[in-house]
Structure 1
C-alpha cells in the first residue's frame, strides 16, 4: 500500500482551504489582526497539523483487482477526502481528530470505471461518496455514513476534467463533471466563450459539484445558479445511465435535469453536462454606494431587483460586514453595484440605477463610476471599494485558517426570504444567533450580513459570525460552533427562510431541510433513489435516509451528549 497520493493536481491542505503552499500577505495578517482585536485577542500563528500526527484505521475492504491502480489509501488522500472545508471540518483537523476517513479514495479514469466501481460497491455493501473539488461547507462529502456499511470509498472525479465538445452556433459546450472552474474556463477561452459561473469556491470546485449542489455564482440577478446554465446532464447510477436530452427548453413533463440538479450525490454520479456559454464581457460599469440606513438600502436593492435593469452585481453589505471585508469603517452600509455586457456600453443602465440609488439616499463617487465605464476592457471596476470587496471575498477562506488554530470561530450561513419578511427576518435571525453565541461563549456576539443575490420577490441574506470562547481553545470553539450552527438552522426556518440558498443541504443542514420540505416530497425523493440506487450506497445521510436503512443525521451535527456549551 503506497503512501503517495494518486492525485495529479497540486497538493491541497487537508486541514484548511487551498493549496498546501498558500500564505497570507502581511496586509492580510494585519487585516485579520484588526478583526481579532474586536474579540480581545491578538493574531498569533500556531503549528499547523501534520500528516504524521494522524493514525488512520486500516481499510476494511479490498478494492476490485481490475481497478486497484485507481484506488489510493495514502494518508494524504484519505485525510483530504475525510470532509470538506467547513469550520467544523477544519477545526477537527486542527484538533488532530479527523472526521471519519474513507477506507479508500478512487480516481476513476473514465465513465466505464465509474460503472464498474458502483457495481463492485453494490455487491460488497460499500458506501460511495462523490467528490468534486472538496469545497463543501455543509458536510456534503464526509464519510460519515452510519454503521450499516462494510466500508466507504470517496470517488474523486479529477481525471474527468475535459471540455469534450463546443457548439459555437448555439453557444454551448459538453464538459466533463470533474473539471475545476479554472480548468474549464481555460479550455473554453480559445473558442472565445465562457461559462462565467464564479462561486467563491471557483478555484477549488467542479462543474459536477456545482450541478449536484445547485451552486450559486457571482451574478446577483437572473442567472444566479448553475441551474440557469445547464442544458442537459449525464449521470451514472447503480441501475444504469441517465442521459437527458439537449434542448433550450421543454414543456415535456417534469424536467429530469431538475432531479439531477441538487441531488447531492444521492442518486448518481454526474459525469458530464452540456452548459450554456456566452461571450466574455467587453463593457463594465461599477459603483460603490454608501447608505446610512441599512433597511432603507435594502428597500433600494428591492427596487433595483424589480426594475428590470438586472445588474450583474448587487451586493449589499451591512455596516459590520464592511469592516470584515476591509471596505469600510462600520459607519455605513455599502452597496456594490455592477453591470457587464459583451455587446454594448452600459451608461444608460448605470445612470438609471444611480437615479434609483439617489432616491433612497445612497451616495457615490460619480467620477469613479464614470471611470469604470471608460471604454471596453477597462480594469477600473477592480479599483476602489468594489475592487477591495471582490479581493477580500476571494481571500476570506484563507484568512479563516490561522484563526481556527487560535480557537476563533469564523463561519457563515446563508438563506433566502421574501422581501415582505426581510426586515423582521434580518433582526430576528441576528438576535437569535447572537443570543446563542453569547450564551455558549460568554463573549459578545459579532454578526454581519450581506445580500449576495437578489430577486424581484426577495433577497439571499448571507450572515457571517465571529466568536471565541473565553478559554480560547479549539475544542471549546468546536463545541460552541455546534450549538451556534443548530441555532442558526432553527432561526432561519423559524423566521421564514430556506435552509440553504446555494451551499447545499449536506449533513449539516439536514435538520433544517427536514422542517422546510414537505414530508411527502422527501418520500418521493427516497422512492426515486430506491429505483436508481436500490442498495442505498450513494452518499447516505445526505438529504434523506435510503429506504430500508437508518442513517440519520451524521457528521459534525450528529446528536451527542450535551457539552458544557449546550443551550
Structure 2
C-alpha cells in the first residue's frame, strides 16, 4: 500500500531519496551558487485550522471530513504545492461526493442544483491550472469518480473498449492487458490521473506525433449533465453535423460529468527502435525536427531538448533530439534510419534517451523537493506554427529571463518540444530560479504572467495540453473568438441552467446559482 501526498505530487513512498535530494542541491549550487537551499518540512494537515463545511448533504455518498476535503482542494501546480507547504490552505470544498453508480452522479447533480451548490469534477486531482480548486465559490461539492473505475466491455474486433471515467491509468492498462490490448496514452500524470480527466482536459499523451491527444483515441462518450444524459453513437468517423464528443472533450467539467467512454485501442508494440541525436546548433536541431515532423514517418517519440534542458536532464551540453519508433505489426528500423538521415547535421549519442526518460518520470517529485528548498521550478507550454516559432521562442525566452531577473535576480530558462506536428511544434519551457521562502507563490505568479503575455502576443496558444482551468482564463478569454464564447455560453445555459458545474472555468456567463465572486 502507498500513501498519496496531501501537499504535493504522487506518493509519500516515492518522494525523492536523501541521496537524490543531495544530488539536486549540488546541481542547483553548480548553476546558482548563491541560492538559499534551507529545507522546509510540510505542515501536519491535522494541525491546520481548516474551515468547517457550509453544507449538510444527504448521508451515504458524501464526506465532510476536513482532511479529506483538504486533499481535494487543489491540484498539482507549483503554486498549489507552495501554498500547501506554507500552510496556506485557502478555500476547501464543503464535501467530497463519491458516487458508486451513474445514478449517484445524477443524484449529486440534482441535489446540488436544488441547493445552489457548485460541483467540481476532480478526476485524479492532477490539474496544474487551478481546474479543481474551489476558488471564489461560496459552497462547493467536489465530485470524486474513483469508484467508477472498470473496463465494462471490450470489442476485440473493432479494438475498442467501454471504460468508466474514474479509472486511473495503471488500472486501465492492467484491465486491458488480458485482452492483449492497450490504450497507450501515457501523460506524465499517467499514474495518478483518470480517463475522465484526460477527456475533460484534452490531455496530451505518449505520442509525440500523430495520436498526440486523447481526442484521437475517443470513439464515443457518455456524459451526465443537469439537463440530461448525452451519449454519442459509436462510429469510426461521421460527417453528421458538429461532433457531440467535440463539445465535451476539453470542457473541463463545465458542461457535464463524463461517466464513461468507448476508447480506441491497439495491440502492444512488438517492434521498437530509437536513438538520440546531438546537435551543436539549436537552429539546426529545430530544422531537423521540422523535417521529421513533416516526413510522414510518425515517430512515437520526437522530443527536442535545448542545451540547458539537455544538460539538466540528459547529461549533454548540446541540443538533443530523442527519437523512438514502435509498431505492433512491422519492424521499424528503416523508419529510424530515414529519420536519422534527416538529422545529417547531428551526431548519435548514447544514453541520453534513458537518462531523459528517468528524469522525466522523476520531474514532479524533484520539483516538489526543490520547492521545499525555496527553489522556483515550474513549466509552461504552448504551440505555434513553424514559421512563427523563432519569433515566439525569442520573445518568450526574453520575457522569462527579464521576469526572472526582476523577481529572483537570476534564473535559468529551458525549452523542449513535447509534441510536434507537420505545421508546428509544442514548446515546453522550464523555469529554475532561487525564490524567497514565504513569497514563492507570488514570485511564480509574476513570472507566469509575464511569460503568458509574451506567448499570447506572439500568437501561441495559452495551453497545448494543460487545459485552461482558472489560472489561464485571462489569456484564454483573449484567444477564444467572441462568437464562439457566445455559443459556448449558450451550451452552458442549456446543459447547466443553474450554473453549478465548475463555475468560472471556460465561460463567464452571468446566471442564477453559484457564480464566482
TM-score (norm: length of structure 1) = 0.88
How far residue 402 of structure 1 moved from its aligned partner, in angstroms, is 2.0
Query: What does the per-residue CA deviation read over 1:66-93, in whole Å, with 9 as the maximum and x for residues that have no partner?
Result: xx12211223211111110001111111
Which of 446, 467, 471 in structure 2 is aligned with 1:508?
A: 471
Instruction: Kindly tell me the number of residue pairs found equivalent between the two proteins.
Output: 515
**Cα distance change on mapping 1:10 and 1:106 into 2, 3 Å:** farther
**Cα deviation, residue 545, structure 1:** 2.1
Residues 370-519 of structure 1 mapped to structure 2, 5 A cutoff: 384-441=351-408, 443-469=409-435, 472-473=436-437, 475-519=438-482
* 1:180-219 pair list within 5 angstroms: 180-219=168-207
Aligned mates of 1:26, 1:502 — CA distance in 2: 32
**How far, CA to CA, are the matches of 1:552 and 1:152 in structure 2?**
11
Q: Which residue of structure 1 lines up, in the alignment, with residue 57 of structure 2? A: 63
**Residues 42 and 86 in structure 2, CA contact (< 8 A), matched pair in contact too:** no
Query: Please, which of 279, 292, 304 is the counterpart of residue 316 of structure 1?
Result: 304
The aligned residue for residue 29 of structure 1 is: 21
Matched, 1:113 2:79: no
Cα distance in structure 1, aligned partners of 2:331 and 2:38 = 48
Match in the other structure for 1:528:
491
What is the alpha-carbon distance in structure 2 between the residues aligned to residue 308 and residue 215 of structure 1? Answer: 23
Shift of 1:28: 2.6
For residues 257 and 524 of structure 1, the distance between their equivalents in structure 2, rounded to whole angstroms, comes to: 16
Q: Which runs of 5+ in 1 are unaligned?
A: 1-8, 369-383, 555-567
SS at match of 1:166: strand
In 1: Cα distance, 2:512 partner to 2:405 partner: 39
Cα distance 1:118–1:499, how it changes in 2: closer, same or farther (>3 A)?
same
Q: Does 1:543 align with 2:510?
A: no
Aligned-residue CA RMSD (Å)? 1.6
Contact 2:36 2:434 in 1 (8 A): no
Which of these residues, 338, 343, 346, is aligned with residue 357 of structure 1?
A: 343
8 Å contact from structure 1 (residues 460, 501) kept in 2: yes
Contact 1:145-1:539 within 8 A present in 2 as well: no
Task: Give the CA deviation at 1:179.
Answer: 0.4
Q: How much does 1:31 deviate?
A: 3.6
- The 8 Å contact of residues 32 and 43 in structure 1, kept in 2 or not, is answered as no
Q: C-alpha displacement at 1:552, in angstroms?
A: 8.6
Is the Cα–Cα contact under 8 Å of residues 313 and 338 in structure 1 kept in the other structure? yes
Q: Tell whether the 8 Å contact from 1:540 to 1:546 is kept in structure 2 after alignment.
A: no
Q: Judging changes above 3 Å, is the alpha-carbon distance between structure 1 residues 295 and 27 closer, same or farther for their aligned structure 2 residues?
A: farther
Displacement of 1:49 in angstroms is 2.1
**Structure 2, unaligned runs of 5 or more:** none
Q: Equivalences for 1:119-138 in 2 at 5 Å? A: 119-138=110-129
Question: Do 1:71 and 1:106's aligned partners in 2 also have CA atoms closer than 8 Å?
Answer: yes
Shift of 1:550: 10
Which residue does 1:223 correspond to in 2? 211
Q: Do the aligned partners of residues 245 and 145 (structure 1) sit closer, same or farther apart at CA in structure 2, a change above 3 Å counting? A: farther
- Give the TM-score, by structure 2 length: 0.97
Structure 2 residue 278 is the aligned partner of structure 1 residue 290:
yes
Q: Distance in 2 between matches of 1:420 and 1:435?
A: 24
Tell me which residue corresponds to 1:3.
none
1:189-231 C-alpha deviation (Å, 9 max, x unpaired): 0000000000000001000000000000020000000000000
Aligned match of 2:85: 94
Q: Secondary structure at the match of 2:235?
A: coil
Q: Report the 3-state secondary structure (helix = DSSP H, G, I; strand = E; otherwise coil) of the residue aligned with 2:402.
A: helix
